[in-house]
Structure 1
Amino acid sequence: MKKIIIFILILCCTPLSMLVGASTELDNPAQPELNPIPIILVSEQEGPLTAGTTELPHPELKYRGTLLLNSPYPAFGGFSDLLLSKDRKTFLAISDMGFWLKGSLSYTKSGFLKDVERKAELGQLLNTEGKTFAIKYYADSEALCRAPNQSPDDTINPGYLVAFERVHRIYHYNSGEPLYLSGKATALPLPKQLTDLPENGGIEAMLRLHDNSIFVLSEGDSSAGPFSKGALLKNGKWINFKYERNSAYRPTSAGKLANGKILILERKYQGPRTLGTRFCTIDRDKITEGATLSPELFCEINLPIPRDNYEGMDIISDDDGNQWIYIISDDNFSPVQHTLLSLFELKKQPAN
């Protein structure tokens, strides 16, 4: 019932001032008095609940559970990317309605996702004037990553980059607090290749790499043929490249692996019963001006792991060299989709 109510509210363009004081339909929206606001966040476990019950095609990749996330606030949903804290207890997610969510996670003794803390925060992203976005067209945030020169534990220079599509741009937020997106944004200059993207085929994946460069990849569409445009910001200079798409899959997020490769989250949808999710890899060293990158299949994610429209990903490495891969789904504010947070463990990999 809650999903149906949300769907109707979005279709009717209900002013979001009812929620946090700002509207997504007015030319001069009232600004929220409190941003972020406290919200109630709940979860329930989905899919297999114990280790050893789910085999994945990659021998070192293990499934570690799924949480179905929910909140009574109509603005909750539409999450397109996320980041995790170094200790994996806190997460930050952005939505395609210009909101951000900060919450806390808990785990079972065996390492499975267990629950979320009920107390969470929901905020609205601000523009370069320090105001909320007047309409959704400008608020469609799709990719999130840490800014250059930030420490891995978010304690030093805790800045973040957020990429928007439709009006393609990247904003830098630095509130001074870890995993927070409050405050006025500053715009990052983009190459023409990233500003001329299709309206609904903009930047979907963004990642700070080990060498402090920023990897950016668009979703693309059929007008660009079998390629998605990408760019790498290194030492103040953009390096343009192309990413070769295979079949109907589109890139939606990226994470860095300990062996130096980039893990790409891809999804496909061509109608009922065609939803697919998989991981691919590309080689960072092959990113040069004008290069075409051909991804290698890493692993497909199939049932009984819960299916949905997975769009966001982050990877955290622990002190033992294992990596924890989190993916989050965009429910599109639809009554037939859900906000799922799934976790995978990748055992320590030898360096190339």
Structure 2
Amino acid sequence: MRRRSALKLILAFTAAAGLAAAAFAASRPAAAVTAKAQYLGSYTWNLKQPWFGGFSALKISAGGREMTVLSDRATLVTTSIRRKKGQISGVTARTAHGLRASTGKMLSGFAGDSEGLAIAADGSRYISFEGAARVARYRHAQGRAKVLPRPAAFRKLPVNKSLETLAIDARGDLYTLPEQAFDQNGQIPVWRWNGRRWSRPFSLPPSGSFLPVDADFGPDGRFYLLERDLTFLGFRSRLRRWDMTAGGPANETVLLQTGPGTHDNLEGLSVWTDDTGRLRATMVSDDNFLPLQRTELVEYALPR
């Protein structure tokens, strides 16, 4: 997520305060979470490129050997992942493309605050933006954006707290929700695009001080929500899951909740099935382009 200068100073302080906690927690991450998700490993990705950093969304494919990752400065990156005994041992960037507006102009600044990523069956990339709240389709990474219609509700969302997440279900419907903009009942509103119009099919219950940062539909058809909390000892992360029924989401389950400093600022989520049939969640951290933070890829095995 893009932050103002004052907040970046807070993040820098928070990251520094959490270094000791992170070093300890990284050696025993399973002890900081619920028993429902099993920690598999973490990989710190470093690359000296001007576009590198600020990753807010990702999608894992090819059995965990490929990754598409989105920066919050309007850059879309494709990578190859090397694995050793199933765990990430290296990441190679193949392509990196800046995103264009519908006019063909390269996006930047307020208009280029890209946060959510969903990839359709035909390869189209859908991206949600948090500055000017909108969702756009990219048939090709280097092509122009086709902005979906913007409902009135999007225009009323708070700046820097709007469309943080984007997910696509098996039918190709898109779902997005804000980071911090509750409805009149104090619930998290969820909007769905069915290819013709936006609707509000359901809301989700907030819980504690955690805020939504990404979402995904798993291969099991269930809805997964990654949430984050910022404390003076570091970042906390939580992963919740719902069954999708005709009446809406049901059977809320907390799969993961970490203590401060266990991981960095996890903002991107991809749920997929590995070669052994095990369900995995891969998450990526947004380093806010700050030297005290890191780009971390974190993986957990999830219960069926």
TM-score, structure 2 normalization: 0.82
| In structure 1, distance between residues paired with 2:68 and 2:101 | 19
| In structure 1, distance between residues paired with 2:247 and 2:171 | 13
Offset from partner CA, 1:245-278 (integer Å, 9 cap, x none) = 1111001111223443211100011x41152101
| In structure 2, distance between residues paired with 1:338 and 1:224 | 37
Q: Which residue of 1 aligns with 2:13?
A: none
Unaligned runs of 5+ in 2: 10-24
- Closer/same/farther in 2, CA of residues 54 and 245 from structure 1, 3 Å limit: closer
**Aligned-residue CA RMSD (Å):** 2.9
Describe how 1:35-54 pairs up with structure 2 within 5 A: 47-48=26-27, 54=30
Conserved 8 A contact 1:244-1:295: no
| In structure 2, distance between residues paired with 1:73 and 1:224 | 44
Conserved 8 A contact 1:194-1:230: no
Q: Percent identity?
A: 24
Superposed displacement of residue 106, structure 1: 1.0
Q: Which residue of 2 aligns with 1:207?
A: 167
- Closer/same/farther in 2, CA of residues 73 and 85 from structure 1, 3 Å limit: same
SS at match of 1:205: coil
Q: Which residue of 2 aligns with 1:167?
A: 132
Superposed displacement of residue 341, structure 1: 0.8
SS at match of 1:193: helix
Q: Which residue of 1 aligns with 2:102?
A: 128
**Is 1:57 the equivalent of 2:34?**
yes
Q: 2:146 aligns with which of 164, 180, 186?
A: 186
| In structure 1, distance between residues paired with 2:247 and 2:46 | 39
**Is 1:112 the equivalent of 2:87?**
yes
Unaligned runs of 5+ in 1: 1-6, 12-45, 151-156, 176-180
Q: Which residue of 1 aligns with 2:71?
A: 95
Superposed displacement of residue 54, structure 1: 3.6
- Which amino acid is 2:283 matched to? I
Q: Which residue of 2 aligns with 1:315?
A: 271
- Which amino acid is 2:90 matched to? D
- Which amino acid is 2:146 matched to? T
Which stretch of structure 1 is more off in the superposition, 121-130 or 162-171?
121-130
- Closer/same/farther in 2, CA of residues 274 and 227 from structure 1, 3 Å limit: farther
How many residues are aligned here?
Answer: 281
TM-score, structure 1 normalization: 0.72
| In structure 1, distance between residues paired with 2:94 and 2:26 | 24
SS at match of 2:110: helix
Rg larger in 1 or in 2?
Answer: 1
Offset from partner CA, 1:22-46 (integer Å, 9 cap, x none) = xxxxxxxxxxxxxxxxxxxxxxxx9
Describe how 1:1-352 pairs up with structure 2 within 5 A: 47-48=26-27, 54=30, 56-59=33-36, 61-109=37-85, 111-117=86-92, 119-133=93-107, 135-147=108-120, 150=121, 157-175=122-140, 181-221=141-181, 226-234=186-194, 236-240=196-200, 241-269=202-230, 271-273=231-233, 275-285=235-245, 295-302=252-259, 306-318=262-274, 320-347=276-303, 349=304
Structure that is richer in helix per residue: 2
| In structure 2, distance between residues paired with 1:91 and 1:259 | 20
Conserved 8 A contact 1:244-1:294: no
- Which amino acid is 1:196 matched to? K
Superposed displacement of residue 68, structure 1: 0.9
